[in-house]
Amino acid sequence: MFKKDVILYCHCSTKELGTEISELTRRDADSSAIKVTFCEDVVWNTFPDGYPNLFIKNIQQSVGKHVVFLGSFHSPQVLFEQISLLYALPRCSVRSLIFILPYFPTGTMERVDTEGQVATASTMARILSSTPLSAMGPTRLMIFDIHALQERFYFSDNIIPLLCTTIPSFLKELKSFQPTTQSIAIAFPDEGAHKRFHSHFSDYALVRCIKTRNGDQRTVTIVEGSPKGKHVVIVDDLIMTGTTLHKCIDEMWDKGAASVSAYVAHAVFPGESWKNFECNGSNRSLNTFWITNSLPHAAEIAKNPPFKLLSLAESIVESLQRVIVCSD
């Protein structure tokens, strides 16, 4: 098999995931259609005033090559330096450019309900849409489990969003998960999660909930299905402070669940709010809380029970193979 050579640049916060992606293509050399070379040639320095002072060493090796940049906008402080590199790479005569941004950070602010609100998801899309064209045309932008699928229409024709999902990887994990003798049911804490993910779980009993708000108070109520006697796994795309998830967990226990676990693709957890889910000896603690490494801090969180880390490396490699092989 003729392999496509791929140069992989990483932000300093995504180095661990980048190394895993590169090693995966070498380990599966017989079946992989791409050969990913992890390149540590970006110097992420700053000037005394705090602004980026970036330098790409050995840039000549990327000329005429498929180039991938694995980034992370986990905080506004790291956004400008990565946008600067993203804009620079196409001007270095690369063959094609793929920007992997596993978590699209402004996705929860995707619409305007009240005049005066600012849809920052649209702003972010416009920033990314200004990426210069490479030799083969628009940059491909790979995002996993974006909060609202319609956000793809915020991007201009200068960039092609590739909306991927982490659910197939989680399904592999779930099939090998045997926590109790009870059968597994999949619960969705609100209508959005149900619409997005229910079709992936046709082999499982489903529990659909709705979320209502009264000021700052949230209520989660089951409207379809039953958790009684089952091991319930609550599935959602992301978690912030966890208020909705806590309400959903309580509802599962109140309606007779035998045990409860959870899965979210993006463990945002501002202010170390993940600590509210640590095992504390309570009979209502989560059995397992699966998260992915779509955000750099997830690896540290996963060192604490009941958290368990699922890597995106395999999903990223599979997506890269489809995109790069089909592009030539």
Angstrom distances, CA of residue 280 to CA of 20, 91, 297: 33, 53, 22
Least trusted range by pLDDT, from 45-54, 96-105, 128-137, 177-186 = 177-186
Q: How far apart are CA 123 and CA 39, in angstroms?
A: 30
**% residues pLDDT > 70 (the chain):** 97
User: ω into residue 270 within 30 of 0, thus cis?
Assistant: no
Does the pLDDT value for residue 61 go beyond 80?
yes
Q: Where in the chain is the domain with CATH 3.40.50.2020?
A: 4-165+313-327, 167-310
* pLDDT for res 125: 95
Residue range 5-16: average pLDDT?
Answer: 95
What pLDDT is recorded for position 102?
97
What phi and psi, each to the nearest 5 degrees, are found at residue 148? Answer: -135, 120
Mean pLDDT of the chain: 92
- Asked whether residue 328 carries a pLDDT value surpassing 70, the answer given is no
pLDDT at 218: 82
Of the candidate CATH numbers 3.40.50.2020, 3.40.640.10, 3.30.70.20, 3.30.300.30, the domain formed by 4-165+313-327 belongs to: 3.40.50.2020
Percent of the chain having pLDDT more than 90? 80
**Is pLDDT above 90 for 279?**
no
pLDDT, tens digit, 9 for 90 and up, residues 224-249: 999 999 999 999 999 999 999 999 99
Model confidence, pTM: 0.93
Q: Does the pLDDT value for residue 181 go beyond 70?
A: no
167-310 folds as Rossmann fold (3.40.50)
Q: State the average pLDDT over residues 266-294.
A: 91
Coil vs helix vs strand at 150: helix
**Of the candidates 64, 74, 14, the residue with the CA atom closest to the CA atom of residue 38:** 14
Give me the pLDDT at residue 1, please: 47
Task: Name, in order, each residue with C-beta under 8 angstroms of 154's C-beta and a sequence gap of 6 or more.
Answer: 110, 121, 122, 125, 126
* pLDDT per position as a tens digit, 72-126: 999 999 999 999 999 999 999 999 999 999 999 988 888 888 898 999 999 999 9
User: Which is more confident, 26 or 145?
Assistant: 145
- What band does 26 get if pLDDT is binned at 50, 70 and 90? confident
Quote the pLDDT of residue 28: 78
d(CA 142, CA 148): 15
Q: Which range is least confidently modeled, 30-34, 158-162, 201-205? A: 30-34
Residue 56: its pLDDT value, please?
Answer: 95
Burial of 273 from C-beta contacts in 10 A (0-12 / 13-18 / 19+): middle
